[in-house]
């Protein structure tokens, strides 16, 4: 496999990518690139995934159209904004793995192959982030963009509010990936404490899906539910990027980006602390 | 053809039918045996059983929450009241929950293939489908039917229709047919995994899509998509067409009245098509060297 060749410290010279921070960054880029190349091997999967994204886009798009036909200007979006939100938000779902998972740490902890990840010459958390960045890049290019393009043919979509909005949207996509990674990585870490992390995974996937804004814009959530949804980190994954795209972010673009950045930093720091704690608990039988 | 050959071929056909029935009974027996084993194994871990049961119930709540939020803002969706949409949701969610409880999440199949566990499945003397359906069977998943049943009961009480014997009889029939169509969809799509084992997500998305499509009035998706889901895909027959009869509504797309009672033949055709797809999938299986 591409990845194991790359990261094997035995087969390769001690520091194949040079010493220091630059070498580290280059190695990390190689990890991400290898993760991306591995995913590109499965062509039929890409086609199937685009098709399924399109199915969900068409369904959710039509539901949104019907809702906004009944109540134009509901929750501060006009009909075109609502459909743009739904279609582009839905096409980003696979890229940010809003349905959870994609980090197969629990399985590797269970069967012991996690020990291989511990001897890699790149930090544990950074290794998983590298895989995720590579995966998300491939998913963005091969799933999100085609799905959004098809969505643009099927529905009347709005372009980004301005060049600034477009730039903010781009930055917020990166931050959304960090938040989504942080959340899913924490869920994955729970496997260090539980032999069977599937329950946590299932609940977290539901919560993330519902509160990310991918199902319905969070502005529709009534009362306290809306307040919770607005403060929780899940909104940083779909709701905030889409608000930046449409220029409907509450309190301006900078505040929205700061919201994402703060959650990303908090989650990654928590993940770091728990990684150390989890690795201390790890017992691999045999080996 | 003289009489003796005719008799012989007739006898052979009869024998073949007998063999088929015997085989079906053996497979049904293995299915029940494996399901029973899953129940006993789940009963070993009580806390886990309770927790997962709650998780599965929460999972079913997501779509309902979406509908509730929509109706918190609207009084009706495309002319359908909350009670009517709840009826559509209840019948669809119940059919899909029953299908998933019985046949398991078949999208896990891709993972089993990639891990090289499929070779062992193929050499066991039990049908591949029975093994795949029971491989990830979890009794906890049965709890998913609780919430659709409750929604259905509430909506039936709230609906303003005349409950004639025909309507009352059609309700369980439409759920049975919907379940069969849903199982056929799951099996037929899962057959793709033999060729593209990495597309579990796409497979589960197609299932989610069909479950989602049936939760809302089909008129929401526009005439073209709705007709596609009636004529090409069997989705309208999971609940929409029979529901039009129960809800006493004219077909918004002007289809003839008898289409409302076509769920059973459609379900049988779907099951046959799914079986063909599944067999062809197995024939195209390539091991990963496990």
Q: Answer whether A52 sits within 8 Å of B205, measured CB to CB.
A: yes
* Residue A11: pLDDT over 60: no
Taking only the tens place, the pLDDT of each residue in A94-150 is: 889 888 778 888 878 877 788 787 777 777 888 888 888 888 988 898 889 988 999
At A216 the pLDDT is 87
B81 membership: H or E segment, kind and range: strand B80-81
In chain A, pLDDT over 90 holds for what percent of residues? 23
Mean pLDDT across B87-108: 86
User: Nearest-CA distance from A256 to chain B in Å?
Assistant: 24
Residue B167 token pair = 């309507």
At B235 the pLDDT is 87
Q: Answer whether B198 sits within 8 Å of A56, measured CB to CB.
A: no
pTM: 0.81
ipTM over 0.90: no
Question: Please, which residues have CB within 8 angstroms of residue B216's CB and are 6 or more apart in sequence?
Answer: A63, A66, B77, B85, B88
Residue B42 token pair = 């789940």
Question: Please, which residues have CB within 8 angstroms of residue B206's CB and are 6 or more apart in sequence?
Answer: A51, A52, A55, B185, B189
Judged by a CB distance cut-off of 8 A, whether residue B52 touches chain A is: yes
Residue B220 token pair = 């929401």
In chain B, pLDDT over 90 holds for what percent of residues? 13
* Cα(B233)–Cα(B270) distance, integer angstroms: 9
At B4 the pLDDT is 54
Buried b (16+ CB within 10 A) or exposed e, A136-170: bbbbbebbbebbbebbbebbebbebbeeebeebbe
* Residue A195: pLDDT over 50: yes
Instruction: Tell me A158's DSSP state.
Output: P
User: Nearest-CA distance from B11 to chain A in Å?
Assistant: 47
Q: Answer whether A222 sits within 8 Å of B72, measured CB to CB.
A: yes
Question: Which pLDDT band holds residue A240 (cuts at 50, 70, 90)?
Answer: very high
> Given the structure tokens 């994402």, which residue do they identify?
A260
Taking only the tens place, the pLDDT of each residue in B147-159 is: 889 889 988 888 8
User: Nearest-CA distance from A216 to chain B in Å?
Assistant: 7
Q: In this predicted structure, which of A176-180, A208-212, B3-7, B106-110 has the lowest mean pLDDT?
A: B3-7
In chain B, pLDDT over 70 holds for what percent of residues? 95
At B10 the pLDDT is 60
Residues 22..51 of B with a Cβ closer than 8 Å to A: which? Answer: 48, 51
B289: left (phi > 0), else alpha (psi -120 to 50), else beta?
A: left
* Residue A203: pLDDT over 50: yes
* Residue A235: pLDDT over 60: yes
* Cα(B211)–Cα(B90) distance, integer angstroms: 11
Rounded to the nearest integer, the mean pLDDT of chain A is 83
B55 closest CB neighbour out of A69, A203, A210:
A203
Taking only the tens place, the pLDDT of each residue in B239-285 is: 888 998 888 888 888 888 888 888 899 999 999 999 999 999 888 88
Question: Please, which residues have CB within 8 angstroms of residue B240's CB and are 6 or more apart in sequence?
Answer: B88, B214, B217, B218, B230
At B224 the pLDDT is 84
Judged by a CB distance cut-off of 8 A, whether residue B192 touches chain A is: yes
Q: Which of A50, A67, A79, A197 best probes binding to B when mutated, by most B CB atoms within 10 angstroms?
A: A67
State residue A283 phi and psi, 5-degree precision: -125, 120
Judged by a CB distance cut-off of 8 A, whether residue B87 touches chain A is: no
Judged by a CB distance cut-off of 8 A, whether residue B57 touches chain A is: no
Taking only the tens place, the pLDDT of each residue in A211-222 is: 998 888 888 888
* Residue A8: pLDDT over 50: no
Instruction: Tell me B94's DSSP state.
Output: H
At A171 the pLDDT is 94
* Residue A9: pLDDT over 50: no
* Residue A262: pLDDT over 90: yes
* Distance, C-alpha A275 to centroid of its chain: 19
Mean pLDDT across B87-102: 90
Residue B208 token pair = 């989610």
Q: In this predicted structure, which of A7-16, A265-274, B22-31, B53-62 has the lowest mean pLDDT?
A: A7-16
Rounded to the nearest integer, the mean pLDDT of chain B is 84
**Between A167 and A24, residue with greater pLDDT:** A167
């Amino acid at each position: 496999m591409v990845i194991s060749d790359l990261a094997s410290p035995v087969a390769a010279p001690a520091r194949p990518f040079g010493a220091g921070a630059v070498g580290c960054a280059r190695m990390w880029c190689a990890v991400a690139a290898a993760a991306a190349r591995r995913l590109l091997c499965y062509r039929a999967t890409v086609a199937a995934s685009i098709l399924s994204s399109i199915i969900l886009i068409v369904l959710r798009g039509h539901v949104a159209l019907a809702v906004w036909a009944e109540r134009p200007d509901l929750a501060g979006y006009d009909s075109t904004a609502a459909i743009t939100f739904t279609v582009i938000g839905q096409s980003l779902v696979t890229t940010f793995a809003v349905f959870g998972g994609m980090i197969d740490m629990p399985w590797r902890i269970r069967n012991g192959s996690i020990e291989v990840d511990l001897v890699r010459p790149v930090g544990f958390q950074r290794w998983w982030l590298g895989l995720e960045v590579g995966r998300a890049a491939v998913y963005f290019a091969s799933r999100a963009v085609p799905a959004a393009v098809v969505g643009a043919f099927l529905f009347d979509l709005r372009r980004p509010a301005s060049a600034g909005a477009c730039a903010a949207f781009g930055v917020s996509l990166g931050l959304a990936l960090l938040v989504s990674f942080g959340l899913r990585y924490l869920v994955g870490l729970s496997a260090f404490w539980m032999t069977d992390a599937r329950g946590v995974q299932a609940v977290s996937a539901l919560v993330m899906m519902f509160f990310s804004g991918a199902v319905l814009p969070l502005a529709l959530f009534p009362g306290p539910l809306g307040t919770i949804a607005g403060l929780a980190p899940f909104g940083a994954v779909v709701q905030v990027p889409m608000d930046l795209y449409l220029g409907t972010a509450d309190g301006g673009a900078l505040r929205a980006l700061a919201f994402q950045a703060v959650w990303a930093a908090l989650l990654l720091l928590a993940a770091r602390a728990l990684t150390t704690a989890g690795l201390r608990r790890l017992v691999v039988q045999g080996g | 053809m003289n009489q003796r050959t005719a008799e012989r071929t007739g006898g052979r056909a009869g024998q073949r039918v007998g063999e088929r029935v015997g085989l079906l009974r053996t497979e049904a027996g293995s299915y029940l045996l494996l399901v029973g084993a899953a129940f006993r194994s789940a009963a070993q871990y009580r806390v886990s059983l309770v927790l997962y049961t709650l998780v599965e119930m929460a999972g079913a709540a997501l779509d309902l929450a979406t509908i509730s939020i929509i109706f918190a803002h609207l009084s009706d969706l495309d002319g359908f009241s909350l009670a009517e949409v709840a009826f559509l949701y209840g019948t669809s969610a119940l059919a899909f929950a029953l299908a998933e409880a019985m046949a398991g999440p078949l999208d896990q199949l891709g993972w089993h293939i990639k891990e090289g566990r499929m070779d062992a499945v193929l050499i066991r003397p039990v049908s591949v489908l029975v093994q795949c359906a029971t491989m990830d069977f979890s009794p906890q998943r049965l709890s998913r039917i609780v919430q659709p049943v409750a929604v259905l009961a509430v909506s039936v009480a709230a609906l303003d229709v005349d409950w004639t014997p025909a309507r009352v009889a059609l309700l369980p029939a439409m759920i049975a047919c919907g379940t069969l169509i849903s199982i056929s969809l799951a099996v037929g799509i899962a057959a793709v995994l033999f060729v593209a084992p990495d597309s579990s997500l796409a497979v589960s998305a197609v299932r989610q899509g069909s479950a989602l499509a049936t939760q809302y009035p089909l008129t929401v998706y526009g005439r073209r998509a709705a007709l596609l889901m009636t004529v090409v895909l069997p989705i309208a027959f999971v609940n929409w067409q029979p529901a039009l009869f129960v809800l006493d509504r004219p077909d918004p797309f002007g289809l003839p009245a008898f289409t409302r009672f076509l769920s059973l033949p459609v379900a049988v055709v779907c099951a046959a098509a799914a079986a063909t797809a599944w067999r062809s999938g197995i024939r195209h299986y390539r091991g990963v060297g496990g």
